[in-house]
Copies of this chain bind each other. A is one copy, B any other.
Amino acid sequence: MSARAFHAVDPRSGETGPAFTEATPDDVHRAVAAAAAAFAAPAQRDDGRRAELLSEAAGRLRGAAEEIVAVCQAETGLPEVRVRSELERTWRQLEAFGAVVEAGDYVDAIIDTADPDARPIPRPDVRRMLVPIGPVAVFGASNFPLAFSTAGGDTASALAAGCPVVVKGHPSHPGTSAVVAREVRAAVENLGLPEGTFALLQSSGVEVGEALVDEPAIAAVGFTGSLAGGRAIHDRAAARPRPIPVYAEMGSVNPIVVTEAALRARAGAIAEGLTASVATFGGQLCTKPGVVFVPAGAAGDAFVADVAARLEAADPQVMLNERLRDALAARVAELAELAEPAAADGAAGGPEGPGFRFAPAAYRAAAADLAREPGLLEERFGPVVLLLGYRSEEELLEALDRVEGQLTGSLHAEPEDEALVLTLVDVLAARAGRLVFDGFPTGVAVTHGMTHGGPYPATTAPGTTSVGMTAIARFLRPVAWQNAPASALPPALRDENPLGIWRRVDGEPTREPISR
């Protein structure tokens, strides 16, 4: 019997591209067994080697840029400038996590020296640090074929933590996954790390992902995608004999609030920025603003009309694949039952050819409608935005109270709005992972403190982020050494502090050695 295969598709034309072999249940099992063996190997716990691995993988992806750009464009339809920028983000992210491993502070060392006089019991010498959690399953995202896929943020942070990674590649960009995986595997080989440190499984169905989540040796899952997909993986992982954490980032509607003063001061600039944030890359971003709260009345109406006209004038956008295009069409058809097109001529957006394109559009409704139409707040993944008019601050706050967990919340305000802004910051901070002031949520910078997360349904793990350097914490767990002889302590916890890392010693951060 020959192996089953699936094909890449060029969404710009709808034409079928190269074939890729479907991973089998045996492939899943072999990849996880190799990952478990790699996890047990001492090389995996060598911070220097792992930092080199990340750096070498970054360098190899840079080197393969032309091949990656060509393959990626042909199966995602994303413009060249975007693919190049995303690739740069991807290798910079690998390098940044390499630097985090090299700096060594990520182990969050805490040392409490012994105190025989402590009450109510004598205090032993307790030294605690973070260690890797085990082999990690990563699900690639359709909309970030590089930065959230095969060697994206989840993979980079898991490898940095010391966890082998098994990627389930997204079937919307198998060629990109294959090239990236080839380079990461070459880096693994060059560094002499165990083969099981990294693997890619290609598949167009759900069975391979399900089998991967079920594998007993998998210790955590990283996922970026739809609410339905993330929830299914969360539920499956929770039902395992040994439940494991699932870090699923599932998108949101990323509400934006615009005040009257902001409209007076800069309605045109806000409309321009919003249009770009909604329509660029087909609006296929987890942080795309889906819902914008705008003052009711003449100024608000003019703003809504401006946004609608700008979106109507934009080119139809290539969607990543047929399924996403069809899903968006279905969602917009539902929206059309609850809201009205905002364009003067009633332009409603919708599918266009060639390939899988979608014409951008704005819809409008009253903020007060949320009370009877919760469906207005559903995510519509694509170049579509809903503008909601509020007649008073009370109505705005009531409406925001109906908004569930979000990746982001944004505010466009002026200094005279200070009291309202303070209220809105509280309201948005209670339900979002990131607050954006006088800007737009798309374009997530990779920094130490960046937070890309939020309460459910934005993610399944509100205490975590999938972007930024603290993403590494998802794949670590604490272990304490109690009254250990020096020879049994890892370097990070030894008196001399041979790694020169920051440690909390008897409550205070320091890089000094311990004298005893």
Q: A478-B465, A509-B502 are in contact. Are A483 and B438 (CB under 8 A)?
A: yes
A451 at the interface (CB under 8 A from B): yes
> CB-defined interface of A107-122 with B at 8 Å, one 1/0 digit per residue?
0001110000011111
A324 at the interface (CB under 8 A from B): no
On chain A, which size bracket covers the interface? 35 or more
C-alpha spacing A261/B93, complex, angstroms:
49
Which of B121, B447, B464, B488 is in CB contact (< 8 Å) with A126? B447
In the assembly, how many copies of this chain are there? 2
Q: Is the CB of B487 within 8 A of A120?
A: no
Q: Among A404, A449, A455, A483, which residue has the most Cβ atoms of chain B within 10 A? A: A449
Q: Is the CB of A449 within 8 A of B480?
A: yes
Q: A133-B462, A445-B124, A488-B421 are in contact. Are A450 and B480 (CB under 8 A)?
A: yes
Q: Is the CB of B239 within 8 A of A243?
A: no
Which of B245, B449, B456 is in CB contact (< 8 Å) with A111? B449
A contact set with B: CB distance below 8 Å: 40, 85-86, 88-89, 92, 103, 105, 110-112, 118-124, 126-128, 131, 133, 219, 234-235, 238-239, 242-245, 404-405, 415, 418, 421-422, 425, 429-430, 432-439, 443, 445, 447-451, 453, 455-457, 460-465, 468, 470, 473-474, 476-485, 487-488, 502, 504, 506-507, 509
C-alpha spacing A404/B461, complex, angstroms:
24
Residue of B nearest to A487 (CB): B418
Contacting residues, chain B, for A504 (C-beta < 8 A): 448-449
A-B contact pairs, 20 of them (CB 8 A): A85-B121, A88-B119, A88-B120, A118-B445, A121-B443, A122-B445, A123-B447, A124-B445, A126-B445, A126-B449, A133-B462, A133-B463, A234-B243, A245-B463, A422-B487, A435-B479, A435-B481, A439-B482, A465-B478, A509-B509
Q: Is the CB of B463 within 8 A of A476?
A: yes
Q: Is the CB of A477 within 8 A of B450?
A: no
Contacting residues, chain B, for A481 (C-beta < 8 A): 434-435, 437
Q: Is the CB of B477 within 8 A of A463?
A: yes
Which of B238, B245, B449 is in CB contact (< 8 Å) with A128? B449
Contacting residues, chain B, for A89 (C-beta < 8 A): 120-121
Contacting residues, chain B, for A457 (C-beta < 8 A): 242
Contacting residues, chain B, for A103 (C-beta < 8 A): 507
Which of B234, B461, B463, B509 is in CB contact (< 8 Å) with A473? B463
Q: A485-B437, A487-B421 are in contact. Are A451 and B480 (CB under 8 A)?
A: yes
C-alpha spacing A497/B488, complex, angstroms:
39
Q: A85-B120, A448-B110 are in contact. Are A433 and B488 (CB under 8 A)?
A: no
Return A401 CB to nearest CB of chain B, in Å. Answer: 10
Residue of B nearest to A85 (CB): B120
Q: Is the CB of A422 within 8 A of B110?
A: no
C-alpha spacing A340/B170, complex, angstroms:
55
Contacting residues, chain B, for A234 (C-beta < 8 A): 238, 243
Which of B105, B244, B461, B482 is in CB contact (< 8 Å) with A245? B461
Return A480 CB to nearest CB of chain B, in Å. Answer: 4
